[in-house]
Amino acid sequence: MSDAWYLTIRRYSGTGAPEEIAQRVREGLLPTLRQEPAFRAYYVARIDGGGGIFSATVFDDQATARRINDHVVRWARDNVADLLIGAPVVIRATVAVHLDAERKGGESYMMVRVTEGLGPSAGILPTVQEKLVPLTLEQPGFRHLYTGRDEEQPDRSVAVSVFTNRSTATAAHAQVAALMAQHRDIWPLSPKVLLAGEVIVASLA
């Protein structure tokens, strides 16, 4: 668990080969990120259906997270502009809960889920801890979860979950949505999958 981590999600449009993007990231960007003491995780995934990639960085210091986001955007502009189109769409969230499976490795599929219409966190976190945390941890193929409030839209939560494959991620999302539907006083709206795809770069501190 953590109440002091910071998540940044970037979505890039483009038609370049994700494998080429991944190679450049691993060789040029990733070493810089891993040198940061506040580094916790970094993932890049191809968007299901094509059309670009999305990435998620997790740091345990907000100032570092913001500085690194600027660095990543500049690096992408200077090093993969031939494979991507324009500036990324960026989402930032303060992580309220993060979970890791006991089993390591196999970070092969990433999903970004958003839930809107939420009340204050204090009224939601107890149910998250009691209901959603155990449900998430028992999902086959679960590896990591980072979730918190969208900095730009406080009534929206953002969750990045990492699984071993698409089928386990999809099944877990369905179970989470079903549980949320049983507690409409807390989650008045159903969660939506904003982004999902195969992980092509994964690195943990």
- pLDDT tens for 3-43 read 579 999 999 998 888 889 999 999 999 999 999 999 999 99
Instruction: Take residue 118 and report the two structure tokens written for it.
Output: 């939420």
Tell me the one-letter amino acid at 117.
G
Give percent of the chain above pLDDT 90.
Answer: 83
* Residue 106 confidence (pLDDT): 86
Q: What is the pLDDT, as a whole number, of residue 192?
A: 96
| Mean pLDDT (whole number) for 40-58 | 94
Q: What is the DSSP letter of 93?
A: E
Average pLDDT for residues 193-200, to the nearest whole number?
A: 97
Spatial distance between the Cα atoms of 197 and 90, rounded to a whole number of angstroms: 17
- Name the residue ranges covered by the structural domains of the chain: 5-204
The Cα–Cα gap between 75 and 78 comes to: 5
Cβ–Cβ under 8 Å, residues 119 and 195: no
The mean pLDDT of 119-130, rounded to a whole number, is 89
What is the domain class of 5-204 according to CATH?
alpha beta
Chain segment 64-94, per-residue pLDDT in tens: 999 999 999 999 999 998 998 888 999 999 9
pLDDT at 2 over 50: no
pTM equals: 0.93
User: Residue 86: how many CA atoms within 13 Å on its side-chain side?
Assistant: 8
pLDDT recorded at residue 3: 52
pLDDT at position 152 is 93
Q: Is 51 exposed, middle or buried (0-12, 13-18, 19+ CB in 10 A)?
A: middle
